[in-house]
Structure 1
Amino acid sequence: MCDKLDMSEVKRLDRSKLKKTITEGKNTLPLKETIQQEKDDIKRS
C-alpha cells in the first residue's frame, strides 16, 4: 500500500453535478441512565 492518497480525482470533482440533499434533524442516542433504567424495568417485569 502507498502512504499517500491520490487526491487528483478529488481535485477534478465537478461540484455542479452533485445533487442537493436536504438533511433532517439528528436522531440522538439515549442517555446511559435511560438505557440502564429501561434494562432495570425489563428485569422487574
Structure 2
Amino acid sequence: MQNASLHKVPTNFAPEDSSNFYAIAARDKALAKLAIALFIEDLHRR
C-alpha cells in the first residue's frame, strides 16, 4: 500500500497537472539535498 501516497496529489492540482507536481517534488528534493549539504559543510568549518 506504499503506492497510495503517490496518488495523493494536492487538491489545487488537476489530474493533468500531476506530472508538474512530480517535477516540483523533484526540484524540492534537490533543493533539500543542497540545503543539507551546505548545512553539513557549515558544521565542518567550525
Q: So what's the TM-score if we normalise by structure 2?
A: 0.33
| Higher RCO (C-alpha 8 Å, min separation 6) | 2
